Structure 1
Amino acid sequence: MATLMTIDLQNCFIFIILSLLCYYLLFKKQKGSRAGCVLPPSPPSLPIIGHLHLLLSNLTHKSLQNISTKFGSFLYLRVVNLPIVLVSSPSVAYEIYKTHDVNVSSRVATSLGDSLFLGSSGFITAPYGDYWKFMKKMVATKLLRPQAIEQSRGGRAEELQMFYENLLDKAMKKESIEVSKEAMKLTNNIICRMSMGRSCSDENGEAERVRELLVKSTALTKKIFFANMFPRIPLFKKEIMGVSSEFDDLLERLLVEHEERVEEHENKDMMDLLLEAYRDENAEYKISRKQIKSLFVEIFLGGTDTSAQTVQWILAELINKPNILERIREEIDSVVGKSRLMKETDLPNLPYLQATVKEGLRMHPPSPLLVRTFQESCEVKGFYMPEKTMLVINVYALMRDPDTWEDPNEFKPERFLLSSRSRQEDEKEQGMMKYLPFGAGRRGCPGSNLAYLFVGIAVGVMVQCFDWKIKEDKVNMEETTAGMNLAMAHPFKCTPVVRNDPLTLNLENPSS
C-alpha cells in the first residue's frame, strides 16, 4: 500500500510539473518587478518552474518550514509564473496584519464558479467587499452571537451525552475505536443541530446524508485546489460539480422544510436566521439562495473535520504523556467531581484543560498554511510586494519558531498557564502573532470560540470517564494532510476502558 501511495504521489508531481509548464507556455506572460524595488530574499531557483521543486512533498508546510530554516523567515518564491511571499516570522506577520490587513483580506480567486464549496458564491472565497462584509456581520451578530450559542447549549449537551454513551457502549463490549471518526460524529452532530435544528444521529436520511457528503467533500479538497490552480484545464471539475449538485439538492429540501415551519417555533437555528435575511427586502445586502447553501457547506467542512482532527491529536499526545493526562483528570475530578458528566460551563474553571487544548492547536494547527493575496502593491519590512502576489503564512512553522517558543517541538501545556505577573507579557506576545491556529485579522476564523468549546468538552469527557489502551507503546505521531488540513498519517485506534460512569452514579445517588 505504501509503495502504491508513493507511486501515486510521484505521478501526481510529474503531472503537476507538466501541467504548470503547459500553462506557463500557453497562457501566461512573465511580469517583471517594478524597477528600483527590492523583493524579499529568494532561494536559488530553476528555469521556468522556479521553486516548484522545493515544494514537491505531501507535507507542504514542512517543506516550507525547511526552506525558511535554511534561507530565512521572509522569502520571495516563484512557482512558474506565480509569485509567492512566504512568511514564517511572527514580527512580519504582525506588520502585515497591522498595516496591510485590508490589502490581504482577499483569498486567491476561485475558478469553480458554480460549485457550492470554494466557488464564487462562497463566504470563505468571497473577495473583501459588500457581500463578505454583510456575511461577516451576519455571522458575528446573528449566527454565532453569544445569545445564539447560549440558546443552543442544551442541544450540544444532548449530543455530548450521546457521544459519552456511545463510548461507554464500546467500552462495555471491549471494542476499539478510531478516535477521529468518533470525534467527527460528535462535531458533525453538534454542527447539524446548531445549523439546521436536527442531529445527524437522528434516524432520518437527510441528516445522515450530510455526513456522507462531508466525507466526499473532504476527499475532494486537494482536487479543488488543483482545479483552481489550472482554471483553463477541466481538471476534476466534473467530479467536484457532481458532489456540489448533491449538496445543492439536499440543502434545497432543508430550506423548503424550514420555510414551511418558519412561524411555528421560537428557537431559530442558523438556517432560520439566514432565511430571514434572504426574505428581508431592506437588508444591507440581498443574499441569494445559493449563497446560503454555500455558507452551510463551508460551515460543515470548516467545523467538522478540523475539530475532530484536533481532538485526535490531543488525545494521542495525552496517551503518549500520561503525566499530563493525569493532571487534567485530577483537575476535572476536583472541579466537576465523579457523579456527573462535565459540561461546557465547567471549562472556564479548568485552566489546565484549556491550556492543553491551546497547546494541541499550537503543535497541530488544523490549517498549517494561511493563504491570501496582496490586492495592491505595497512595502513590508522595506521589501516590495507586487500586486496580486500570493501571501503564504506558515503558521505551523511560526508556532514552532525556536526564537519565540521554548522547546517548540515539545508538548507542554504549562506554557499557556499564566500568572498574573506574566499575563501582560503574554498578551503582548499574542499581539506579535506568535499563536495563530485560527488565523488573524478580518479573515480570521469566526468560529474559533466554538472550536475551543467542541474540542474542550470532547477531550474533557474522554479523559474524565475513560482510560485508553493502545496495542503499541506509543501513538505514532507522523503527519500527513487530509485535503488541505493537517492530519495523522496513521489514524490511531484505541480501546476505551471505563474509569467511572457519572450517569450511573447519578442514578444511584439522585441527591448528588
Structure 2
Amino acid sequence: MDGIGNVIYNLPADHSCELLVFSLLLSLVTLLMFARKINTARARSPPSPTRLPFIGNVHQLTTRPHRGMHSLSQKYGPIMLFHYGHKPVYVVSSAAIAHEITRTHDASFASRPTTKVFHMLFYGAADLLFSPYGDYWRQMRKLCVNELLSSKMVQSYQYIREERVSELVTSIHSHCLNHKSAAVNLSQLLLRLSNDVLAGAVLGLSEGANEKMRESFLRAVELMGEFSFTEHIPVLGWMDHLTGFTKKLRKTAEELNTFLDQIIDSHEMMKPKLHGQGGDRSDKKDFVDIILELRKADMVGQILTKENMKAILLDMFLAGTDTSATAMEWMMAELAKNPDIMTKAQNEVRAVVGAKSKIEEADISRMEYLKCVIKETLRLHSLWLLTRQSPSTNVIVAGFEIQPNTSVLINLWAIHRDPMAWERPMEFVPERFLNTCWSDNKAGYFPFGMGRRMCPGNQFSAAQIEYAMANLLFWFDWKLPGGMDPEDLDMRDTATIVARKESPLLLVPVPHAYMLK
C-alpha cells in the first residue's frame, strides 16, 4: 500500500475528482477480492449438517450408518463433512467422486486411519488391512498377493472347498430325509461353511474342530463395528469401561492371541513331519505352513515377527468369514425373493453339469448367468459397507479441499445405488452384468473395495461363493416356509462392518431329481 499511498499523495490538488474515482475503484477491487476469498474458502469446505457439542452429528445416524449417511447425502450432497464426535469425517456417496479418488488420488488415499479396536486386536495395526501405507504395507501386501492368495494358491485350496461344500450338501440332504418340508437356517449354515473353509486354508483346522475359535472371531467382528467413546468422544472415554466395551475388547484380544500362539506353535512342531518322507500333507499347505517356510528361507526379511504373523492371520480370517457368508446369505435371499431369476440360474447350472454326480470347479467358468447373479448381489449387498481412507497429503476432490490425515468414508452401499451410475439401481437385475467379466471395475462398482486398498482376497472369496452357490442351486430347489409370498420376505439389514441380514434366512430345501437317482 506504500506505492498506492505515494500515488495519492502526489496527485495535484485540482484532481480531487480523479482522486475520488480512484479511491472508489480501489475500494471496489478490494471488496471484490475479499468477497472472492471468502467464497473460495467456503467452496473448499463441503456442506455439513448442523452438529451438537461433543457428539457432533452422531445423533443423526440410525442403527444403520450406511443408510443414515445416504439419507443425509440426499440433502447435503454427494460429498459432505460429517462430525463423528470430535472428528471431522468426509463422506462420499457418489460413484463419480469415488471414481475420481481411485483414478486421480489413489496414492494419496492409500492409508487408513486406525482405532483403539484395531490397535488392540491387530497388534498395533501390524496387519495388512490397517497398517499405514509405506514400505511395511507394500511388503505385507506383496506377501499376501504373491504367496498366500495368488491364483495358484487359490486353486490349491480347491480340495477344501469341495470337502466343506460336500459336507454342507450332505447335511441339508439328511435334514430333508428326516424333516420333510421343514426349513433350514441358511444364515447359520453358510456362516459355518465360510468359517470352516477359512479355518482349513488359513490355519489347517479340520471341520468342526474350532467352535470356540469361531465364537472369538465373530465377537471380534462385532467389536470392530461397535461405537467407541474413547475414539469419537474422548471426554466420555470412561463410558467404554462402564458399558463393558473395553473389557470385551481386551478379553477377545487375549483369546485370539492365545489361540493363534497355539496354532503357530503346533505347526512348528509338525513341520518336519509335513515334508519328510511319507508326509501326506506336503501338497496341502495352509497359510501358516507357507509363512513359516518363508521365514525359514529368510525370504521375508525382518517384517514377519510372530506378532506380525498373527496380525496377518487375523486379517485373513476376519476379512473373509463374515463377508463371504453374508454375500451367500444375501444371494439366496434375493433368489428366494425373485423366483424367476432363481429358476434361470438353476437351469444354467444344471445344463452345464448335466448328468455328472459332482460339480467340478472347471464347470464354473461356463456359468455366466450365475456369475451375474453374484455380481448383482455384491452390488446391492457390498462386502464392505463403508471403506475408510485417509489422505496423506492435501487433496482437492470434487472441488473441495480435504486435509491430510482426516477420515474419508466411502459409502459403497450408496455408491452401488447411485442413479447416475446405475439404471433401476434399487432392483435386482443380474442381466446388467452380462458380457462383462468378474474383474471389471467400472465407475461405481467396487465389490472388493477401492484402489490400492482393495481386498487382496477377492479371488479366494469369489471361488468359495461360486462353488457353494452352484452346488446349492444344482442339488436343491428352494421354497419359502409356510407358503410365504416372496414379497413378504424380510430383507432388512443390520450393520457391523458388513450388512448382515437382520433376521435369519429360513428356506425349505427340496432335493432335486439328480440327488434322488
Q: Check whether TM > 0.5.
A: yes
SS of 1:223's equivalent in the other structure is: coil
1:376-410 per-position Cα deviation (integer Å, ceiling 9, x unaligned):
21212332111222111111111111121111111
Q: Summarize the Cα distance change of 1:291–1:320 in structure 2 as closer, same or farther, 3 Å threshold.
A: same
Q: Summarize the Cα distance change of 1:354–1:345 in structure 2 as closer, same or farther, 3 Å threshold.
A: same
Of the candidates 289, 294, 301, which is equivalent to residue 272 of structure 1? 289
- Aligned-pair distance for 1:222? 2.9
SS of 2:132's equivalent in the other structure is: coil
- Aligned-pair distance for 1:45? 1.0
Of the candidates 469, 472, 475, which is equivalent to residue 459 of structure 1? 469
1:17-62 per-position Cα deviation (integer Å, ceiling 9, x unaligned):
xxxxxxxxxxxxxxxx999474243144135358515632111111
User: 1:238 aligned to 2:247?
Assistant: yes
User: 1:200 aligned to 2:207?
Assistant: yes
How many angstroms apart in 1 are the aligned matches of 2:441 and 2:160?
33
- Aligned-pair distance for 1:198? 2.6
- Aligned-pair distance for 1:461? 1.4
Give the structure with higher Rg (CA). Answer: 2
SS of 2:71's equivalent in the other structure is: helix
User: TM-score normalized by structure 1?
Assistant: 0.84
Residue identity in the other structure for 1:339: K
Residue identity in the other structure for 1:275: L
User: 1:177 aligned to 2:184?
Assistant: yes
SS of 2:61's equivalent in the other structure is: coil
Counterpart position of 1:110: 115
1:297-352 per-position Cα deviation (integer Å, ceiling 9, x unaligned):
22222111111111111111111111111111111111101432323222110000
Counterpart position of 1:351: 368
Of residues 358-367 and 219-228 in structure 1, the stretch that sits farther from structure 2 once superposed is 219-228
How many angstroms apart in 2 are the aligned matches of 1:38 and 1:276?
55
SS of 1:407's equivalent in the other structure is: coil
Counterpart position of 2:261: 252
- Aligned-pair distance for 1:228? 3.8
- Aligned-pair distance for 1:135? 1.1
Return 5+ residue gaps in structure 2 as ranges. 1-37, 275-281
Counterpart position of 2:498: 485
- Paired residues of 1:476 and 1:490 also in contact (CA < 8 A): no
How many angstroms apart in 1 are the aligned matches of 2:93 and 2:495?
22
- Paired residues of 2:387 and 2:449 also in contact (CA < 8 A): yes
How many angstroms apart in 1 are the aligned matches of 2:338 and 2:162?
29
- Aligned-pair distance for 1:477? 3.7
SS of 2:169's equivalent in the other structure is: helix
How many angstroms apart in 1 are the aligned matches of 2:45 and 2:177?
59
- Paired residues of 1:277 and 1:287 also in contact (CA < 8 A): no
Counterpart position of 1:159: 164
User: 1:498 aligned to 2:511?
Assistant: yes
Return 5+ residue gaps in structure 1 as ranges. 1-32, 506-512
SS of 1:400's equivalent in the other structure is: coil
User: 1:430 aligned to 2:434?
Assistant: no
User: TM-score normalized by structure 2?
Assistant: 0.83
Counterpart position of 1:26: none
Counterpart position of 1:42: 47
SS of 2:273's equivalent in the other structure is: coil
User: 1:210 aligned to 2:213?
Assistant: yes
Residue identity in the other structure for 2:184: I
- Paired residues of 2:117 and 2:223 also in contact (CA < 8 A): no
Q: Summarize the Cα distance change of 1:343–1:208 in structure 2 as closer, same or farther, 3 Å threshold.
A: farther
- Aligned-pair distance for 1:219? 3.2
User: 1:381 aligned to 2:391?
Assistant: no
How many angstroms apart in 1 are the aligned matches of 2:335 and 2:49?
41
Of the candidates 86, 93, 103, which is equivalent to residue 81 of structure 1? 86
- Paired residues of 2:58 and 2:85 also in contact (CA < 8 A): no
- Paired residues of 2:85 and 2:232 also in contact (CA < 8 A): no
Residue identity in the other structure for 2:503: H
> How many correspondences in the alignment?
461
Q: CA RMSD, aligned part only?
A: 2.6
Structure 1 residues 436-455: aligned runs within 5 Å? 436-455=446-465
